[in-house]
Amino acid sequence: MNELQHLKRLSALRSGTGIKFLTPAVAPGSHCPMRIASVNVENISGLSSLLVGMPECTTYSRLFNPKPEGRNGELHWLYVLDANEVVFGCRAGLTAALKKMARAGAKAIVLIITCVPELIGEDIEGILEEMRPELTIPVTFVMLGQFKNTSYPSGSWKTMEAIGTLMKVQETDCRRINVLGRSPIEKHIPLSPLLPALEGHGLRLRCLAPGASLEDFQSAPDAALNIVVSPFMEPLAAKMERQFGIPYIALHTHYAVEAIDRVYTDLAQRFNFSWGDEFAESRRQALTLQREAQNRLQGLRFVFSLRIDIALPLAVYLTALGMEPLLLHLEEFYPEDKAYAEKLTAMGHNPWICRMTNEAADLPLLEKLAPDICFGYLPELSGAIPCVPEMLDFYGQTGYDRTGSLLSRILGVLDKLNMSVKGGPAYGTASL
């Protein structure tokens, strides 16, 4: 298709900046990563922030973070660059602002750097290193120029990774596990059955995500293991492994029953206990559904649309079940995604990669591509492409239950459309 020639294939992708928009009709709906960073920091008790940018950046930030003081004495201040600083840099002013925040009671600060300081090459790391003898509190920074971070997830994972700089070496607690990606205060996301099961075997869990406290993050290096349940937190886990030697297990990337088996076995062996029959029924159900899916999904061609939070690991799993990836919407290309991209290409598939932001303009191209099934969001007006909708409700879920729920949803769509075998006409099987 000539309309796709501007896109990159998966094998050519090196970072998120290489993801092209599917169509030129880009909607202004993708949030600036600065917004997500500010909201995340605001939700970490005890952590202050200083956002550095132009008046439009600081004005926008006050729309979602209207108060300069947090609930527990945190400071969320703004540094507005003047015309002179846009040309010559803001070293002097930024140094004075950080000292003022320290005197005002900030315990730790995240500098959120927006487009202009990054465009002019402001050396934030150098400024902080120069200030180190004078700083009485820890300060870290995150570079979030939108010209390098086209979409919002980088505002989350890069900020969480930066918070790792605020951590210090702790004595290891051999029964402590950090759960990266689950907030200690969230109730709207169901708890993965694995977590209370681990507590039942005498392990102590600490949840790390926005909603936790600065003290929680600073204490985190005492853990014997990090368990990751969100793509936004895996870069932090990788940093903690490099910096403190804490191993981590990424649960959110495992869909295959056999892979989940290995992870659960590893957990039990690490902490010297046996699961017994705790997950026997959920495993049996997931394995039954997986075998059915392997029979019914063979050869079906798929695309990913909007609202899929863990795209490449899911694409690898679906391809292992016998499906063929044609085109994948990626909201973000995480550092850890490179390994999954290599897995997918090693399986003999090299799909187009894109970013979709305007579904009304993107839909005709998807229909012309004629997939057998789409995963993610499609406008209700589309009747040409069978769709497994709204994959975001699997966020934070892991293990056999998630796999069983995912496969049940897919097979339910096939049942509804009588798509038990491939072989539809030129424009997919939906018209059968």
**Domain 33-149 -> CATH class:** alpha beta
* pTM exceeds 0.75: yes
Helices 337-346 & 311-320 angle (0-180, nearest 10): 20
Helix (H, G, I), strand (E, B) or coil at 295: helix
Distance CA 310, CA 314 (A): 6
Q: Which residue has the tokens 């990266």?
A: 180
356, amino acid identity:
M
Distance CA 425, CA 432 (A): 8
Q: Could you report the per-residue pLDDT of 147-203, keeping only the tens digit for each? A: 888 888 999 999 999 999 999 999 999 999 999 999 998 888 888 999 999 999 999
Q: Are strands 8-9 and 352-355 parallel, antiparallel or unpaired?
A: antiparallel
271, amino acid identity:
F
Domain 176-249: assigned CATH number: 3.40.50.1980
Domain 8-28+277-419: assigned CATH number: 3.40.50.1980
What confidence score (pLDDT) does residue 186 get? 85
Distance CA 90, CA 123 (A): 10
DSSP state of 2: G
Distance CA 373, CA 385 (A): 6
Neighbours of 14 (CB within 10 A): 10
348, amino acid identity:
G
Q: Residues 11, 14, 20, CA angle at the centre, nearest 5°?
A: 85
Distance CA 131, CA 109 (A): 14
DSSP state of 242: H
Residue 401 has pLDDT above 90, yes or no: yes
Residue 431 has pLDDT above 50, yes or no: no
Hey, do 8-28+277-419 and 176-249 end up sharing a CATH topology, with the first three levels equal?
Answer: yes
Domain boundaries, the chain: 8-28+277-419, 33-149, 176-249
Q: Could you report the per-residue pLDDT of 57-103, keeping only the tens digit for each? A: 999 888 888 889 998 999 999 999 999 999 999 999 999 999 999 99
Burial 55-87 (b: 16+ CB within 10 A, else e): eebbebbeeebeeeebeeebbbbbbbbeeebee
